[in-house]
Amino acid sequence: MKAALTLIAAILATAAQAQLASPVPQGSGPGVHSPNSPFAPLPQRSDVVPWSTLTSVKTRTEKNKVLPLFQPEQLALDQKPQRIQGFMMPLEPGEKQSHFLLSSVPLSCGFCQPGGPESMVEVKTKTPVRYTMEPVVVEGKFATLNDDPYGLYYRVTDAVPVK
CATH number at residue 120: 2.40.50
- Report field, pTM of the whole predicted structure over 0.85: no
pLDDT digits (tens, 9 = 90+) for 76-110: 999 999 999 999 999 999 999 999 999 988 777 66
Number of domains in the chain: 1
pLDDT digits (tens, 9 = 90+) for 27-45: 444 555 555 555 556 778 8
User: Does any domain span residue 25?
Assistant: no
User: Does any domain span residue 7?
Assistant: yes
User: Does any domain span residue 54?
Assistant: yes
User: Does any domain span residue 132?
Assistant: yes
Could you tell me which residues come within 8 angstroms of residue 159 by beta carbon, excluding any fewer than 6 positions away?
Answer: 123, 124, 125, 126, 138, 139, 140
User: Does any domain span residue 11?
Assistant: yes
